[in-house]
Amino acid sequence: MFDVEFYTGVGTTLDMPVMLAPVPNAIDFTDKKVLIADDVADTGKTLKLVHDFCVEHVAEVRSAVVYEKSHSLVKCDYVWKRTDEWINFPWSVLPPVHRSGDAAKANKEAV
């Protein structure tokens, strides 16, 4: 699993996506078929970073996303929906659930 940080807020990003530690050792993927899954291919920079990391070390790389934007650098192999709208995912705008049964309360940035 890769953990990549890029978005810092609604429509704001770091200059480039950054892989967070621990970064997997490429040797662990030798001759494997890899599916890169993400929630959205917005700019495509995050997917491209992970794809470029894997492509020279694996037998096959494919990508799957829930949403793909028309301006994405990466055209994914599997896409549920295409849109150019901003998407607020629950894991981005709702706080973590701490106890079973507690209702999650919307973040002020939620739409």
CATH assignment at residue 58? 3.40.50.2020
* 102 found inside a domain: no
* 95 found inside a domain: no
Residues sharing a CB contact under 8 Å with residue 67, sequence separation 6 or more, in sequence order: 39, 40, 41, 79, 80, 81, 82, 83, 87
* 64 found inside a domain: yes
Query: What is the span of the domain harbouring residue 37?
Result: 3-85
Q: What Cα–Cα distance (Å) separates residue 64 from each residue in 72, 110, 111?
A: 13, 25, 25
Q: Indicate if the pLDDT at residue 103 is higher than 60.
A: no
* 111 found inside a domain: no
Backbone φ, ψ for residue 70 (5° rounding)? -65, -25
Using DSSP's 3-state secondary structure scheme, residue 46 falls into helix
Say whether pTM exceeds 0.85: no
For 46-84, what is each residue's pLDDT tens digit? Answer: 899 889 888 888 899 999 999 999 999 999 999 999 999
* 17 found inside a domain: yes
* 99 found inside a domain: no
